[in-house]
Every structure is written in C-alpha cells, then in structure tokens.
Amino acid sequence: MPIHQAFRFALDPSDRTRSALASHAGASRYAYNWGLALVKARLEAREEIRAAALRELLLDDEVEQLARTVEVPWNLPALRRAWNLEKATAGLWWAENSKEAYSSGLDALARALEGFAQARSGERAGTVGFPRFKKRWARRSCRFTTGAIKIVDDRHVQLPRLGQIRTLELTTKLRTALDAGRARVLSATVSEEAGRWFVSFTCEVERADAPATLADAVVGVDLGVKHLAALSTGELVANPKALDRYRRRMARLQRELSRRQKGSRRRAQSKGRLARTHARVANSRRDALHKLTSELASTYSTVVVEDLNVAGMTAAPKPVPNSAGGHAHNGRRAKAGLNRAVLDASPAELRRQLGYKLAWHGGILVVADRFFPSSKTCSSCGAAKAKLSLATRTYRCEHCGLEIDRDLNAALNLAAYGRRVLEQQHVAGSGPETRNARGGGHPRPRPKPPVKREDGTGSPDRTATVASQGAAA
C-alpha cells in the first residue's frame, strides 16, 4: 500500500542560489499578502453594498443578491484567476521567479481561509482566526508541485528555475527508491531554518518494512519529565532535556540581542546566533524522539500510550486569595518550570510519530482513555489511590505492600490496559491506531460555537460574517 513520506535534506547553495531561494520565498509571501489584501477589500465592498441596500429598505434576499455581485476569491482556483489578471501590475518582477512560488503563497492563503471557515462553522475542532499578513521576518519557504523536480545524483537536486543545487547530505536512499520505481516525487518544499536552507520532497512510497521483532508483545509507555519514557519492560529512556542544556546560552544571547541597535550588523549577528541555538534545541529533541519511536515500532507490535491533556497540564496556576484582599501566586515559578519541562518532552509529537511508524511495521497504537488512573492504580492487585501527588516518585500500595517506581507502575498498568482492549475488541490487524475514549471508541461530537455578537448591537461580528460570505463565495 503506497504511503506519503517526506525526505528532508540540507542544502549547500552558492551565494547566487541562496539569493534565488530567498527571492522565491519572498515571492510566496508577497502573493499570500496580495491575495489576503484582495479578499479583505472584496469583503469590505460587500459590506458597503449591504449597508447601502439596507438604507434603501430592500428585502434581505435583494440585499444578498446585490452583495453577491462582488466576487470574493476564497479558494485556490479563484485566487489564481485573480492573480493571473493582475500579476503584470501587481509585481513588475514576477517573471524573475517560478510561477510555483506565487502559487505556493496563494495555496497557503486558500488553506488558511478554508480552515477559518470550517472552524467558525464547527466542521473542525479548535479555534482558527482570520488570516493575517505575513511579516518580513516570518519563516521563509516555497513549495514546488510541477516542473523539473529531480534527484540528479547523490549530492545534487534540481528544482524549477533554481537549477541544480548541491546537498550537504547524501540523497542515496531516495534516489535508490526512485530508480527502483518504489517512489514518486509529488512536491518539493524549500525552507530556511537558522540561516540554513533545506529541501523536503513529499513522495508516494511503497514501503516494505519488516514486522515487529516481538510479534505478540504489548508494551506500555508512560511519558514523563524525569525520564522521557518508562516502558513496562522496566527500561527507562533518558530525557535529553534539550531546553535545559541551552537555557543559559539562550538567555545570554537574548539579553545581547535586546542591547543591539535595531538594523545594525551586530544585531543581525546576535539574532543569527540565537536562531542557531534554538535550532540545536529542536534538533536534539527531534533526534531523541525519532530514535525512541523507531525502536518501539520495530520491536513491539502493540504500543499503549495515554491521551494526555497537555493544555491542562501546562495551564497557569490559579491565584489564591490572601489576607490583604489580593491574590498570591504560590508556586508559580515552580509550575512554570514544570510546564517548560513538559512541553520540552513533546508528548504529542512522540504519539504522532508512533502512529505512522507502527503502521509501517503493521503494528497497533492503543491510546488509553484520558481519565484512566494509570499512576494511581496498583499494577499488582489493582487497588487505586484516591490521591497521588506529583512529588511522590515511589508507589506504595497499602493493600498488597508493593513498592515500585511511579512511572514503571503506570507503564505496567498501560500494558495491562492494552491487553484488555485487544481481547475485548479483537482489533488484531484492524488498523494502526485504536482510540478508547468514552462513547464506544468514537470521539464525542463537538457543539457548534455560537456566533459572537458585537456589544450593544445584536449583529454578528465581522469575523462570523466573513466566514459565511467566504464559504458561500
């Protein structure tokens, strides 16, 4: 079964190629901002027509019919048509870059508008605001979907209008798959990170990964801060604590940056050093997560993790009223440190990687219910404690006398949970991931958010009107 997989390589461009890469990324940002300005102008024109029609006491249907005369380019085809009509005057230098650069920016805008409309209508979870203009210091990237996209050899790639670019890393793995017919390039995205340029090839790949070494084994994985993960086998995976390693350096560089004069050469140098430090933190974290998830997916056929409420775990502590009539923030500094450590461990990213890597090896990811008391339950006799503070690192059972590491106890309970789920639902081979939330394994429906109204007017606010207008357009 073919899957979509990305192959990312660091580039080693010349100065001329580096300028061309920056130009394409800038063209993508320009097209995004141009399209967003056009959408806003058309929406404001509709609002003016509505206001004028209402003053003339027209019927609602007549008002809407008049407003529809102004077309709002809400999707990619409409944005492309509008750009092709005005590109000669919108940017006199548009021919210097590949057409894919501008299409990339318009595609990003279309996705943002679609996400905003779906969130307002309740079709997708979460809150998505109306798109905003991209600043010059935003992340620079550009996506190519057509044209000469090739892996030339082990050290060179070819992109439209950019030509051949040398890579810092060997492309042998992807080139071999392409030559054997096991992969097909769908798109290529160039991006900049801390002064370095990367290219990411999205490919359709036929993978033939070996099944898990322990075919019938179920392992529970308890994610934590002291250790990155505790396995039910007794293994404790060390936490690299990437952010703690570079915190002092990042603080020093941040102070240095704040003291530099804006626009100066030294400020640019300090900003570059700070960006490279952030990149080292991200790379260290990413390396640890990939090594752990690859080892788990290739070894165990079933992996059980918790559905952690990271947003709740990292919420700010509630203020406590004091005798003076104010509020005291007891433990705020300690809670901030815990929140920083939890986010540094990236539990959601670990679960995401486990999901697709287990699918490669034919394994199953079982996600325990968010309210499953894995830490409070005794893994020996099943007795559960009413309370268990985070400071308690050793679990002691009052019923059977078991004394065990808190994280290991939770991992053992997760492994037992996974075995029960497999026995009850008979999901061996039914899918790569099994959710076991309340409601028979199906997510609870999310209620549609109410339409916000402006204070004292009773009329919907502009963002709700934008969503309805854009979706209809």
Residue of 222, 244, 398, 461 with catalytic role: 222
* Structural tokens at position 276: 């490279």
Burial 314-341 (b: 16+ CB within 10 A, else e): eeeeeeeeeeeeeeeeeeeeeeeebbeb
Residue of 306, 403, 423, 461 with catalytic role: 306
Q: What is the DSSP letter of 209?
A: P
Dist CA 384 CA 377 (whole Å): 4
Chain centre to alpha carbon of residue 95? 33
Find tokens 């019919």 and name the residue. 65
Residue of 114, 192, 344, 407 with catalytic role: 407
Show contacts of 231-236: CB within 8 Å, 24+ apart.
231/411, 232/408, 232/411, 232/412, 232/414, 232/415, 234/408, 236/407, 236/408
Q: Put the strands of the sheet holding 2-10 in their side by side order.
A: 2-10, 196-206, 183-193, 141-144
Find tokens 């010059």 and name the residue. 136
Burial 200-224 (b: 16+ CB within 10 A, else e): bbbbebeeeeeebeeeebbbbbbbb
Asked about 114 being catalytic, the answer comes back as no
Asked about 306 being catalytic, the answer comes back as yes
Catalytic positions: 222, 306, 407
